[in-house]
Structure 1
Amino acid sequence: MTMRLLSRFLSRSALLALPVMAGLGGVSPVLALDLQETPGLAAGLPPVGERVPAEPLIVDLEAKGRKTGVMGGTIETMIGRSKDVRLINAWGYARLVGYDKDLNLVPDILADVTVEEGRIFTLRTRKGHKWSDGAPFGAEDLRYYYEDVALNEELNPAGLPPFLLVDGEKPVFEVLDETTVRYTWSKPNPMFLPELAKARPPFIYRPAHYLKPFHGKYGDAAEIAKLAEQQKVRGWAPLHNALDDMYGAQNPDEPSLQPWVRAAGDNDRRFSLERNAFYHRVDAAGHQLPYVDRVVMTVADGKLIPAKTQAGEADLQARNLSFSDITVLKQGEAAQGYVTALWANSKGSEMSILPNLTVKDPVWRELLRDTRFRHALSLGIDRTMINRTLYFGLGKPGNDTVLPASPLFKPEYRTSWADYDPAKANALLDEIGLTQRNGEGTRLMADGRPLEIIIETAGEDSAQVDALELVSETWKELGIRLFIKPSQRDILRERSITGELVMSVWSGMENGIPTADMPPEDLAPVHGEVLSWFGWGDYWETKGAGGEKPDWQPAIRLMDLYQNWLVSTSSDERRAIWDEMLAIHAEETIRIGLVAEVPQPVVVKGLENVPLTAFYGWDPGAHFGLHRMDEFFFAK
């Protein structure tokens, strides 16, 4: 049964739930703003004074150097897969707390947050805030998530997610009043707020009025059984999980707090996301955001999206565009009336070569863990040549580290052991003892094998292959042969898990613009999915049940520092931890970065308030989210 076939039951259930929560809504008695009605809204909606919260988030566009917008219009954009419709919930970037342009965490959906001793978090929602269907939003929706979803073993057999645990301890959760809840741990939890601000947040709230009818604790058992049978699922829990899709946007019936919500009746090739008439942000002139009425996402072959963009088929496009498309996109600007903005990629490096420090082969393991070897590999790369050849000199050669836009940046993090110095690289290889060569001039390893490095790729980015071919030319001068092995993402990860992977190429550290208050997950071996150190990451994630305990001093220190960050109580303390972790990476060359800040093309057609220079990234950033897509508008 499709989601739409549930509508009759849903509408009846929602009506039953509304009177219970009606006390949370109501019209604001006094608003400092002269609120303006939004033209073109569907008939039957309450007036704007009843739709926005009694204490809305007032956006001061002038202070941000932006223009007050014009209401209306449709943003056309393209996606490569139907499931990418979920990106609307990243780009909209309505979060309990979110990052502003200076990377400070600020309340957004929440009216305010109070933190005591780094362990007591009091969250207050906006009085009169409503879901996209007009039902009140408040403390009950946070309670429902924590007590009835997160703690319910049938809905969530894996238990609470890590950001809600401190040394395995659950928080004490309290509802203080209709708009206020509190989470209390016995120790600091610096992970909590940054997690809420992610591009894909955990959504620690749920539309309780919508989901309760499908919950075994609240719903009518007979009705639930009938619906579960129609949906072909076994029981209330899988039915509830199928309907509870806050990020994926697969259920258009589920209410949302995002600026645009999926319209009913669209298809899996063209999605219409309509404005949320109950959205909580307004501009200083009293206009309820978003300015644009709808976002239409059309599914197209990813390889054709650059050509379709050049033909003028998108008003806002970055998805499926890459640096190599810039020349073609520039050629279409005059004819189609768009501009190609160049945003800097916020990754620590466009790509990095990753020695696998937990490789199974003992000879390779010893060599890859030798700091001199990694330094030699890094010194043997002409990054300036790669930047000029592949990126027309527009990138920044250097290590895989934080970018200058980060308050944690130091020049030496980017430059340490990153100069092209083949003489020094050769001297280091000799110092290691790799002095014997075969007839082709290739150095021999300790067991007599030629020093031939197979670097495996996921086969998803042709620029990685082009870069490795340039690296192979200069490594050959060191007596090292490089062979490129295109593969697939799943196979690459499997070879990392089994320890067969010697070296790979991947994009750089995800967050190149961190602050001290963001978790340093990119720098410590705490995730098994990282190709540099699966064994250590798996050991951390499984609490010692799997993987292997780190026995390499830099990795041990990085894990200790990460654990210290998890119990830190101040930004100064966290800053010191970040500084030491970044210094270790710079000195040890754990990842061999190539070029950073490579421009990402962002095509903009007729839209105002879209920055021409900005950062493009996932976390933090949510692609367009950090730049507040709800403030974009059409001048005409």
Structure 2
Amino acid sequence: MIHRPLRAALIAATALLATLGVAAPALAAAETPYFADQVAAGKLPPVDQRLPAEPRLVTFDDDGAQQGKPGGDLATMMSRAKDVRIIFAYSYARLMTYTTDLTLEPDILQSVESDGDQVFTLHLRPGHRWSDGSPFTAEDFRYWWEDVILDPAVPPDGPPPEMLVNGEGPVFEVIDETTVRYSWKAKNPMFLPGLASARPLEIFGPSEYLKKFHVKYAEAAQLKERVKAAGQKTWAHLHNRMDNAYDNDNPDMPTLQPWVNTTAAPAERFVFVRNPYYHRIDPAGNQLPYIDRLLVQIADGKIIPAKAGAGEADLQARYIRFDNYTFLKQAAKRNDYKVDLWKTGYGSHLALFPNLNTTDPVWHEVFRDVRFRRALSIGIDRDEINEVIYYGLARASNNTVLPRSPLYKPEYQNAWTQYDVKRANQLLDEMGLTKRGSENIRLLPDGRPMELIVETSGESTEEVDVLELIADSWRKIGVKLFTKPSQLEVLRNRIYAGQTLMSIGKGVDNGIPTADMAPTEFVPIDQNQYEWPKWGQYFQTGGTSGEKPDMEQPKRLMELMAAWRNASGTAARAEVWHEILAIHADQVFTIGLINGTLQPVVVRNTLRNVPDEGIYNWDPGAHFGIYRPDTFWFAKAGDQTQQANRD
């Protein structure tokens, strides 16, 4: 054990040498109590042999967190077995990660070199190992690129979109055992951010493990038997089933994340245990994570708020809504937890999505007239929604970037959001929609009443409550709203097929982008964008499915996406972003309602390093991930530090 003053000096020296680009001396690591018996029995090597030669040193100097102590189990809840994949997001070990101020830095990688956003050289940490002890090397990248991504037998066929530039993938090279390189003919600024995503771009896999399921490496008879035993059609289907790192559904698959799933589905409780070969340490030499086990209980999502209020979770935000806050706050003291309120990162907490690709020919033309979309937007009393549903704590807004984003401008947030029944009626009259039927409802050009069906996923009464208020407002402009709930997968398929008129859901995931983040959510390149699903499908399939954009402004957005890719530097990318955001504010492709809503976060009173104030955002952020859950730790009840933090 290193004496504390000496350890502090070593840490300072390590930071200085890293700044100068000089290899730093290794910091002596302390054996993790959880593994002590296994090490003593010879089942695991000592910690200094389990860590990379240069582990990532996590410090606590500037974020309000504090150095912790190993041990303890953390309980949380999910509503379905498949939702344990969210633990992969929460864990947030990535080749690259975002800091809390949204800058990128190496994590699993030791370092990265970028040459004009065209050539990326990735340096691994020598001695880094997978959770089963097998080496993590350049071979894991080569195998994934040559034998998975480029093997036409392994679905999905070909490189993911983030690895294509003008339809072409990169040239991949193995430089040495711990260095790989990806080179494109043109710039690919989406590459590094993709590696840091909540669901990251996959460019490597545990090759030693996966080769057992690949026809190129496995013994034929053994592979045939494995395929049969797993009930799969082919070796490729078996390989695809066994290599889903993000899904956390294969307990046998090695990982680089802080915790390893040990439970196969179906199950009512999933147990994740700490990874003995995890690559991060704290300033005292403790191998992270601090917490030994994550215990994920499966429960009906509708009762998770009640169970959290009863003290059955140490950390819970998923499945909890703002309208649960009062109940949770009242029960907090007697059940030994607190309830924090984090800001959310959606561009709009809820937004309406007119389907510009709807197959109804009349509504198709009506939706494409910007006057109609503007009229619907200013025909909504957002202040009423805020007061009635969100207790006045949110703010009226378009579906756009939030004030925390460096790209924010008030005009993006406020355009066409002021409640103005007179102006909305004028816009509809200008369109020629002047004829009215029963109940004073306007008539469509073909004589049908203007009855607008808004479809929901049926997962939240909040959406229905909001739509009821909107229905009251729209009646004043001659539009009758009907709500149609359905299951999420059914709803998505109807949207993709153009069978919906309008849907309601969360706005853009990333309302806090920087100029160096890709503006993909504002450009028609994904069928999951409910306002133009067929245009997104056309892009995703290279024109083999869907429809080619045929409106002037969406075509311009596609041009701007290409301009962003080719822009040199942050300032040039910001210019592109601002034109994209201005087009969206003016054209009202989606109708944002409110943002700035608050997310209740239930935290056990003894759980440390969970921020009192945070941003609950999917990407970037991975909900808890950006705040490094591997550094969360439990203090003992009555701990003086604990009391000081809570008072």
Common fold, TM-score beyond 0.5? yes
**CA distance in 1: counterparts of 2:110 and 2:592, whole angstroms:** 41
Query: Are residue 165 (structure 1) and residue 164 (structure 2) matched?
Result: yes
2:31 aligned to which of 34, 37, 44:
37
Amino acid in the other structure paired with 2:194: E
Equivalent residue letter for 2:385: I
Please state whether the residue corresponding to 2:482 is helix, strand or coil. strand
Bigger mean CA offset, 424-433 vs 582-591: 424-433
Q: Distance in 2 between matches of 1:107 and 1:508?
A: 30
Q: Aligned-pair distance for 1:102?
A: 0.9
Q: 5+ residue gaps in structure 1?
A: 1-28
- Which letter maps to 2:38? A
Cα gap change, 1:368 to 1:78, in 2 (>3 Å): same
Native 8 Å contact 1:31 1:54 kept in 2 = no
What secondary structure, in the 3-state scheme, does the structure 2 residue paired with 1:98 have? Answer: strand
Give, in angstroms, the shift of residue 577 of structure 1.
1.3
- For the Cα contact (< 8 Å) 1:190–1:568, is it kept in 2? no
- For 2:263 and 2:584, how far apart are their aligned partners in 1? 49
Q: Does 1:442 align with 2:445?
A: no
Task: Report 1:53-72 matches (<5 A).
Answer: 53-72=52-71
Establish whether residue 539 from structure 1 lines up as the match of residue 538 from structure 2.
yes
Partner of 1:11: none
Equivalent residues in 2 for 1:34-183, closer than 5 Å:
34-41=28-35, 42-44=37-39, 45-156=44-155, 158-183=157-182
SS at match of 1:43: helix
1:418-457 → structure 2 map (5 Å cutoff): 418-457=417-456
Q: Give the stretch that moved more between structures: 543-552 or 273-282.
A: 543-552
- 1:376-415 correspondence to structure 2 within 5 Å: 376-415=375-414
Residues 581-631 of structure 1 show CA distances to partners (whole Å, capped at 9, x for unaligned) of: 111111111111111121111100021110121111221121211111111
Tell me: CA distance 1:369–1:160, structure 2 relative to 1, closer, same or farther (3 Å): same
Residue 622 of structure 1 aligns with which residue? 622
Q: CA 1:255/1:477 → structure 2, altered by over 3 Å: closer, same or farther? A: same
After TM superposition, list the pairs within 5 Å mapping 1:579-590 onto structure 2. 579-590=578-589
- Please say which of residues 531-540 and 405-414 is displaced more in the overlay: 531-540
When residues 477 and 113 of structure 1 are mapped into structure 2, their CA distance, relative to the original with a 3 A threshold, is same
Q: Which residues of 2 match residues 502-517 of structure 1 at below 5 A? A: 502-517=501-516
5+ residue gaps, structure 2:
1-22, 637-647
Are residues 535 and 131 of structure 1, via their aligned partners in 2, closer, same or farther at CA, if it must alter by over 3 Å? Answer: closer
SS of structure 1 residue aligned to 2:530? coil
- Could you tell me which residue of structure 1 aligns to residue 642 of structure 2? none
Deviates more, 1:205-214 or 1:279-288: 205-214
Question: Does 1:631 find its partner at 2:626?
Answer: no
Shift of 1:266: 8.9
- 4+ residue runs of structure 1 moved beyond 6 angstroms? none
Scaled by the length of structure 1, the TM-score of the pair is 0.92
Q: Which amino acid aligns with 2:193?
A: P
Partner of 2:563: 564
Q: Which moved more, 1:92-101 or 1:135-144?
A: 135-144
After superposition, give the CA deviation of every residue in 1:263-299 in whole Å (9 maximum; x if it has no partner): 2689711111111111111112221111111111011
For the Cα contact (< 8 Å) 1:465–1:484, is it kept in 2? yes
Distance change in 2, residues 1:371/1:52 (3 Å): same
Deviations 1:460-500 (A, max 9, x none): 22111111110111111122221222223333333334433
* Cα distance, 1:446–1:460 mapped onto 2, change above 3 Å: same
Q: CA deviation at 1:336?
A: 0.6
> C-alpha offsets along residues 362-389 of structure 1, whole Å, 9 cap, x if unaligned?
3322221222221111111111110111
The answer for the alignment partner of 2:343 in structure 1 is 344
Deviates more, 1:560-569 or 1:275-284: 560-569
Aligned to 1:227: 226
Give the counterpart letter for 1:344 in structure 2: K
How far apart are 1:405 and its partner, in Å? Answer: 1.5
Q: Give the aligned residue type for 1:43.
A: Q
Q: Decide whether the 8 Å contact of 1:357 with 1:369 is kept in 2.
A: yes
3-state DSSP of counterpart to 1:296: strand
Segment drifting more, 237-246 vs 525-534: 237-246
Matches within 5 A, 1:445-524: 445-524=444-523
Counterpart contact for 1:524–1:559, Cα < 8 Å: yes
Question: Would you say the 8 A contact 1:96–1:109 is kept in 2?
Answer: yes
Check the 8 A contact 2:162/2:201 in 1, yes or no. Answer: no
Match of 1:23 in 2: none
Superposed displacement of residue 235, structure 1: 4.3
SS of residue matched to 1:273:
strand
> How many residue pairs were aligned?
608
One-letter amino acid of the structure 2 residue matched with residue 33 of structure 1:
L
**Cα distance change on mapping 1:157 and 1:363 into 2, 3 Å:** closer
* 1:613 aligned partner, one-letter code: E
- Residues 278 and 31 (structure 1 numbering): CA distance in 2 closer, same or farther, change over 3 Å? farther
Aligned partner letter, 2:29:
L
Correspondence for 1:293: 292
Instruction: Tell me the equivalent position of 2:317.
Output: 318
Structure 2 length-normalised TM: 0.91
1:612 aligns with 2:612: yes
- The equivalent residue for 1:212 is 211
RMSD between superposed Cα atoms in Å: 1.8
Distance 1:327 1:88, change over 3 A: same
- The one-letter code matched in structure 2 to 1:36 is A
Task: Describe the superposition over 1:383-403 as per-residue Cα deviations: whole angstroms up to 9, x where unpaired.
Answer: 111011111111121111111
